Amino acid sequence: MATFSNWKRDRGDQSFMHTADVDNRLNLLEDSHVHRGDAHDIFKDLDFNVHSDFHDVIKHLQKGETLDVWASFNERIGDMQKALNIMLGESPNSALKAILKYISYEGKAYKLILKEEHLVEKYTEQEETSVLASLICKDTEFRAVYTLWRWCHDASIEDPKGFSELAEGVQSLSNVRNIRSGVLRSINNTNCGADVDANPTDADKPLEEQLYRVLFSLIRCGKIDNAIELVRHVGMPSLAVPLHMYNFLVDPTLSPLSAKDSKASIPAKRVLFLETMKKMYQTQTGATPYLRMIWSSLGGLLEPLLSMATRTEDRLWCYSNAVTLNKLQEACNGYVIGDVPSSSQTIFEEILATERLPYFVLYDLILRKEWAEVVSWAAQIVRSSPDMDNQLLRFLSNLTSIVIIKQMNHSAEDVHDVLNAYIERLADREMYEFIPTYASFLPYPMSVQLLLKIMSVIRGDEERMKYLKAIDDAGFNRDDLTILSAQKELHDTSAHDLLDNLKWLILNGERTLPSLVEQTNNLFRHFIAGGDLESAYALMNSTSSSDIDLPTMLTNIDVKSVSAKFESEINEYNCHHQYMETHNTCEKLADLAMKLMKYQVQNLQKSILNENDDDWKSMDLVQTTGRALEESQKQKELRKKLASIGIIEERALEMSEQLFRHDGWRFSSPDEPERSKQLTQLRDQCGTDILETLINSLHEIPDSKAIVEIAMLLADSTLDVENMLSRSNLRKILSQIHNYTGHLFS
């Protein structure tokens, strides 16, 4: 039997289990935010870790890995409880207190499941020799009530406030050697007879009342051995007898199945004990409340326990204590103590008449293993309270996920409602990487739409890469999803969003390279045809960046080893690049030509003014020389500008010819009529634009000979200009050339 001192030491150790580890984890969080001192940020990190831990358990369970899911959940929720208590100790916060309340109730659900598993394991070896063990292992209804009773003990012990008060009460009695010291002194002083069981003296009453209060607390916590040790320690061994009889509820040897067992008479003796407890409760009306509560507890009575219970957990214990005593005693010899609920379900019906917290409904359903009802109740809560607490929604969603993984009965509609709500909440809180796992429990079309919806709101390459990995881990085809994500309706989507959606294909890299090239070409055609060259340049830069160097990747591809479709897409992409670079060079040339023309006009106007200036004509030699040097410097600057323009001009002419000879935009196929049509329009539109810009720039320089070279290029049959420009645009270009160079042939 455990001694009183051992019990105190054991409870002290258990109270701080894993606390050092939690302290270390919380200290790391605090260190990372110490410069801000922001408790909100600390909790945000802690909350994210909890969601992550639970998600990982679900993910491993889904993959068929062997693990004790309830123990894993219980351990993780216990760590969070300890961390929150540490935070509350540092800085009391009403919001954190509310969260801790939800976390605590969730942890009790896992403990309820684990308690039942532990009890069956503990009593299995004696189920053929003990009534108690047999009921626990074979009678599901008794096991549910008994589990509830033992669970109430654990919950009471783990209540920080309740246990600390109990520990203080026990400690205050540790130095008492005889609770009736006043009676003994009266005997010694010949003031009374030698009846040590007489009513206590006034001096003893406060200490004796304290003993009853502590004794009831020990019974409430299920610490019967410690209660027996305590009453012996304080000199009231007569109370040890009823406590020993109460141990009938936990010691399987006290209810043997065999009539030949040496303890077979104990159940019959218990009948006398129970009758005595009932009579004492009825007749000893002057007894103190705590003493009456002790008799009621030991005798399996509901009153006055229920009347004095202020918490739902205490009322649960009152009912489960009475039902457990009744069922066990009736199983032993048919004796019925009194009118009490018949099952765990009827107990919870009494409780739920006044209790509104959803956790107690779940405790009832979990005890009865009504998992379909668990999911149904979860869905009902989600529908009626869409703004429910984050922790409660996480709890319900993980319970639902386990029901699916373990292939328990459930309603598909209920599952959809619960998991959809959780996925939306995860998205709102930007916990994107957890979503694919929960989406995988939904029907495939629905899950794909959900994943695509989330992809449209994720920003940041790091978050996107995490999401892609999570999609892989959840068993989805990330390649298909990245392709679908990038395929938006071009005319109904902003350029910014189109470029942003393409980022998914870019980050997916070579896995979806053909689709990346195809979608990039779609966007190039869309932007260029719409005159949005700013977006086209942004597109070119995004596919030639640190994330992906598409031009280099395509250069290294052996086109003979790819499909004709992919080869044509590569050629088109290269042609888009050629056009963008050519357009940029031609724009530079046009800008320089405009500046040169302005410079020449300004100098010409100044020279005319100087020639008509009387001051200029009257200058002496020195002044004339200075003016001549100024003119020489201007001519030198002009030659530099002309040389610079010459380089750009040569480059523009060369790149333009390369563009016109490129076959990337000359694709035409009956299998892709829309693409063929768009490329035909692009050749005409962009070819005309480049030629007009180039010819106008050359005219402003002026360089008529270069314009003639363009005319000769267009006349080259190998260029096939008829299939590049429309007749109207070709006629316009030729007319422009004639207007600017006709004087050379006259």
pLDDT at residue 631, as a whole number: 60
Please report the beta strands in 554-705, taking only residues with DSSP state E, as ranges in sequence order. Answer: none
Measured in residues, the chain has a length of 746
Report pLDDT for 22: 46
Closest CA to 4 of 153, 173, 159: 173
Q: Please enumerate, as own/partner, the contacts of 481-490 that have beta carbons within 8 Å and a separation of 24 or more.
A: 481/448, 481/451, 481/452, 481/455, 482/507, 482/508, 482/512, 482/515, 483/512, 483/515, 483/519, 484/448, 484/452, 485/452, 485/455, 485/456, 486/515, 486/516, 486/519, 487/519, 490/522, 490/523, 490/526
- What is the 3-class SS of 431-456, one letter each residue? CHHHHHHHHCCCCHHHHHHHHHHHHC
CA 224/CA 221 separation, integer angstroms: 8
- CA dist 711 and 698 (Å) reads 13
What DSSP element (H or E) covers 684? helix 673-700
Q: Quick one: angle between helices 131-138 and 140-158, nearest 10?
A: 100
Question: Would you state the structure tokens that stand for residue 283, as one six-digit string?
Answer: 């007749």
> What phi and psi values does residue 198 have, to the nearest 5 degrees?
-65, 170
d(CA 108, CA 122): 20
Question: Under a CB-based contact definition with an 8 Å cutoff, are residues 232 and 203 in contact?
Answer: no
Is the peptide bond prior to 702 cis by the omega test (within 30 degrees of 0)?
yes
Structure tokens at 715: 């006349």
pLDDT at residue 52 in the model: 94
Helix (H, G, I), strand (E, B) or coil at 544: strand
Place of tokens 């598909």: 412
Tokens 């299995």 -> residue: 124
Give me the pLDDT at residue 4, please: 28
Within 13 Å, how many C-alpha atoms sit on residue 671's CB side?
A: 4
Report, as ranges of residue numbers, the positions in the chain whose pLDDT lies below 70.
1-39, 160-205, 284-286, 599-643, 745-746
Q: C-alpha angle 545/480/556, rounded to 5°?
A: 40
Tell the residue number behind the tokens 């694919």, with chain if given: 436
As given in the structure block, the two tokens for residue 679 are 């490329």
The token pair that represents 9 in the structure block: 């030491």
DSSP string, 589-612: HHHHHHHHHHHHHHHHHHHHHHHT
pLDDT at 241 (0 to 100): 87
| pLDDT at 173 (0 to 100) | 66
Query: Do residues 605 and 552 lie in contact, with contact meaning Cβ atoms separated by under 8 Å?
Result: no
Verdict on whether the full-model pTM lies above 0.75: yes
Do residues 227 and 219 make contact, with C-beta atoms less than 8 angstroms apart?
yes
User: In 3-state terms, what secondary structure has residue 130?
Assistant: strand
Amino acid letter, residue 570: I
Residue labelled with tokens 């992919």 = 566
Q: How far are the Cα atoms of 87, 138, 142, 326 from residue 131, in angstroms, in the given order?
A: 47, 10, 11, 13
Give the single-character DSSP code of 257: S
